Structure 1
Amino acid sequence: MKITMYGAEICGDCVNAKKSLSTLKEIELEFKNIIGDTATLKEFLAYRDNDSMFQEVKESGRIGIPFFILENGEKTFDIGKYIEMPAVENQTKDSASSCSIDKKGQC
C-alpha cells in the first residue's frame, strides 16, 4: 500500500509515525516534509485550506500533521485506523511542545 504523509521533522508525532511506517515492508511511504521547501508547504496548505476535515484542526490552533493520503485517495490524521502500527524504540514523547502554538495540544 502506498501512503503519502505530510509532516515535519520537528513534529514528534510525525517522526514517530514515519519511523513506524518505515518498518512495514508492505508500505511504500512517500514522506513530504512541509518545512523542507515552499512547494511542499503550498501543497499541504492547499489541502488544509480547502478540505473540511481540517476545520476542527484550524479552530483549535493546530497544524494538522501528520496528515496521510492513502493510495485510494482517502485522507486521514489517524493512520492507525487503516493499518496496525508497530511500536518503535526511542519514540519522541513530547510532540506538543515542538509544534503546537499553545504547547498544550497535538500538531
Structure 2
Amino acid sequence: MKVYGTHICIDCRNYQALQARRGFAADFVDITENTANLKEFLALRDHDPVFAPVRERGGIGIPLFVNEDGRKTFDVDEALGWIGQPPVQPEEIAEQRPACGVGGCR
C-alpha cells in the first residue's frame, strides 16, 4: 500500500503514528518533501474521479491510500482492511482535533 500525505496534516500524522505503533509495512509519500512527490500526487488529484468531491469542497485529499491493485480511498479503516489490519480504535488516535472555537471547524 502507498499512502500520500504530509507531516503538517493531523490525519496523516495520526496514520503514521498508527503505522509505527502497529508495525505494518506501507510506503508513505510526503507530498511536501520535494516537487517530484508533489507532482506524483497532483497527477492523481487532477485526473482521478475519486477526487471530484474533494476538489468540489476545496479539499486537498490526504491522506490518500492506494492499494497495490490500484484502488484508492480516503478511509483509513478501508485501507487497513486491505492489508489485514483491524480498524482504528479511539485509543489509537495520537492527536485529537482541537475543539471548535473562533473561526469555526473545517
The TM-score by the shorter chain falls in which range? 0.7 to 0.9
- Give the residue type in structure 2 aligned to 1:9: H
Partner of 1:98: none
Aligned to 1:74, which of 66, 71, 79? 71
Q: Which of structures 1 and 2 has the bigger CA Rg? A: 2
Within the alignment, does 1:7 sit opposite 2:37 as a pair?
A: no
Change (3 A) 1:103 1:34: farther
- Give the residue type in structure 2 aligned to 1:71: E
Q: Which has the higher helix share?
A: 2
Runs ≥4 residues deviating over 3 A: none
**Quick one: percent identity of the two aligned structures?**
37
Answer 1 or 2: higher relative contact order, Cα 8 Å, separation at least 6.
1
The answer on whether the counterparts of 1:68 and 1:76 sit within 8 Å (CA) in structure 2 is: yes
The answer on whether the counterparts of 2:18 and 2:93 sit within 8 Å (CA) in structure 1 is: no
Aligned to 2:95, which of 68, 79, 91? 91
Within the alignment, does 1:30 sit opposite 2:27 as a pair?
A: yes
The answer on whether the counterparts of 1:4 and 1:69 sit within 8 Å (CA) in structure 2 is: yes
Instruction: Give the SS at the match of 2:15.
Output: helix
Instruction: Name the CA distance, whole Å, in 1 between partners of 2:40 and 2:76.
Output: 20
Instruction: Give the superposition deviation at 1:29.
Output: 1.5
Q: Which has the higher strand share?
A: 1
Query: What residue ranges of structure 2 are gaps of 5+ in the alignment?
Result: none
Instruction: Name the CA distance, whole Å, in 2 between partners of 1:88 and 1:44.
Output: 27
TM-score by length of 2: 0.78
TM-score by length of 1: 0.77
Paired residues, what number? Answer: 95
- Give the residue type in structure 1 aligned to 2:92: V
